Every structure is written in C-alpha cells, then in structure tokens.
Homo-oligomer: A and B are copies of this chain.
C-alpha cells in the first residue's frame, strides 16, 4: 500500500491521467505494436495499481460511478467486484459504458475473497449492508454508501428503517463522512458512513451557519429537488421514462428517510434538537440535486453575514464553491463532478434568507464523496481522481 511519500515514483509506474509511459516500459506490449503507436495507450488496467479496491454492489448506479471515477485514479485499482444477481457476468455487459476498462468479473458477495483487497466501497442496499460489513476483515478500510451506519442513534434507525440494527458494535466506531466538515476524523477512521445526497447538500451550507449562531434553529424549511438516478437502477413503474419526463412531483413529504440524518447533523452543531421541514421533489433529469433552504436569521444578522461566513468557511476548499453575490447555482454546472456550488440570497420577508446549494447526487452526493473519503483514509491527496470538470452542456 502506498503512502504519500512514495507518490512520485508510483506516478511513473502506474500511469497518470494521460498514460503512455507504461507502454514505453512494459516491453512485452511494446513489441506487439508498430513504432508509431508507442505513445498511445491501452485501456485502464485496474490490476496494475498498487492499492487494491473491492467494490460491493457493483451493478447499481453508485457502484458504476465508483468505477468511472477510479478509471483515472493513479493508485486505486478495482480487483474485486460483487453483484449477487449478476454474478458471473462481466461488468461491461451490465454497464457497457465501462467497457474500455479491464475489470474483474462480477462475483457473488459470498464468494468474494477479501484477503486480496486493501479497501472496500460498499454500495449495497440498507439492511443487508450491516450484516456484510460485520463479516469483513477488520484490517480493511471501508466506505459504506448505504444508510446503515449514518444514524448514531440505533433506535432512530429502527424507527425510520423498520428493523433493528444488526451491527450495533460497529456503529460506535463509525465516522460520518461529510468530508469538508469532518476531515480530521475521517483521516483516522476505518469505517466511514458516507452521507446521503440530500444531507450533503443541506449540511454543507447550514452547518457553518448554525455553528456561528447566524441562523435560528427553528423553522428551517428545506425544499429539495433531485434527479432520478438517486432512485437507483431497480425497475419500478414510477421511475419509467414515460412517468418521469415532462413533469415533477413531491414524494415522501415529511417522511423521507434522509430527515433523521439531516436533523442529527444539524442538532449536533446547534447543540439542541433541530426539527426541519423537508420536502423532496423528483425532477425529470438524471443527475443533479438542489436544496432551496429558507431560514430565519438570528437577531441583528444580515444576509451579507451569512454570505461572508460561507465564503470564509470554504475559501480553501476545492470542491465547495460559494458563488459571487447574486449568482444563482445551477445543477447543470456541477453535473458529473464532485463540486458543490452554493449561494445566499435576501428574502422579501425581513429577517429571512434563502440558501441554495447544488451538487451531482451521484458524485458529491455519493460516489465522489466516497472516493474523497477513501483518499483521506489512505493518506492520499483528497482530490485524487476527482478533478473531472463538470459536463456542460
């Protein structure tokens, strides 16, 4: 396993973003090609990277997104992929867009050999996740993208997910992976609970404001909008193109399972129980998430104060950008990337402000933040493999 101090040499051997040198060196391949080809490259070969990654639940959208991001990561190579219902298939038969990569064949999780991996991304559904993570070797670093370890309060988990928690001991050591706000804890973690997409888009703007007592704890109203990919790849009538395109609707009004996660995070920083109004809406778009948040400012506080706080909180961050005053964040402008754009606006009603944050739900809202976390856990630069620019138009 690599440490940061060996990065420079690794860069040569493992291939950077552009790849090519590898071809020059790996003699047996060079001879097969005409000399004019010697600087071109073959597809990414995960096997030759130095940190071996296991990916559990590879046949869903977040799993595929992990693979997409790792294609250009110089150290993380996927050597194990599980997908119970697709076991035995190749990944490109499940996700043809990933065919340029050389990837291991899908296996059932029960057949997985965890001795050959250094770290794991877990993209399994909640419920089953607990059991499986409980059974993993404790030497593994794990980032779990499910909801299973996000709620510290086990009884709250049971209330919202309708089943008792099966890995109570593990819950105690979990670190919540909201990277920009909990980076130091993540560095030391073995098991990180990767935040939900809505909680990420809500906590990034609200936590610094609550911490500085700039907004009131009461009457925080969150009107959130999400693309459909957040619902996953499962075949459901409600997510068919003909049901989603050209229309919008709310869902899970006040009962969405991300509510307790949001309230846990806000309550922690507010140091008192915060209850929010949270209404998610399903949008006719694949990726993207916007939270429009209506808040009451603390007495004497102005919108400008909120703005300055967010600017200073995030001025050194690569992935969180507070836009210029008056500029509206748009989900289009973060599509496919790990960025969160946000801004603050004055409300017509005196004493109130409107905060808007946007992310790509599959990247900063899921797989991108997971990679950001594992980078940190492994002592690598946290932006490694994540500097794709947004895809627009």
* Chain A positions near chain B (C-beta within 8 angstroms): 4, 7-8, 11-12, 16-21, 23-24, 33-34, 36-37, 39-44, 61, 64, 67-68, 71-74, 95-101, 183-184, 187, 218-219, 221, 223, 225, 227-229, 233-237, 239-251, 253-254, 259, 275-279, 281, 283-288, 290, 292, 294, 316, 318, 321, 323, 327-337, 339, 341, 345-349, 352, 354, 356, 358, 362, 379-385, 387-393
CB pair B276 A349 closer than 8 Å = yes
Nearest chain B CB to A370's CB is how many angstroms away?
Answer: 16
Q: Is the CB of B40 within 8 A of A242?
A: no
Q: What's the Cα separation between A336 and B388 when bound, in Å?
A: 11
A245 contacts across to B, CB distance below 8 A: 241, 245-246, 284-286
- By the criterion CB–CB under 8 Å, are A19 and B383 in contact? yes
User: Copy number in this complex?
Assistant: 4
Chain B, Cβ-Cβ closest to A350: B275
| Beta-carbon nearest neighbor of A43 in chain B | B318
Nearest 4 interchain pairs by C-beta: A17-B17, A20-B381, A247-B332, A18-B384
Docked Cα-Cα span, A283 to B42, in Å, equals 32
Contact status A277-B332, CB under 8 Å: no
- B389–A100 CB distance below 8 A: yes
Q: How far is the CA of A277 from the CA of B239 in the complex (A)?
A: 32
Q: Is the CB of B246 within 8 A of A287?
A: yes
**25 A-B pairs, CB-CB below 8 angstroms?**
A4-B39, A40-B318, A41-B381, A97-B335, A219-B349, A219-B352, A221-B221, A233-B393, A235-B235, A235-B237, A239-B242, A241-B243, A241-B286, A245-B246, A245-B285, A247-B330, A247-B333, A248-B283, A248-B288, A253-B345, A254-B346, A276-B349, A283-B284, A362-B393, A388-B388
Q: Do A391 and B68 touch (CB < 8 A)?
A: yes
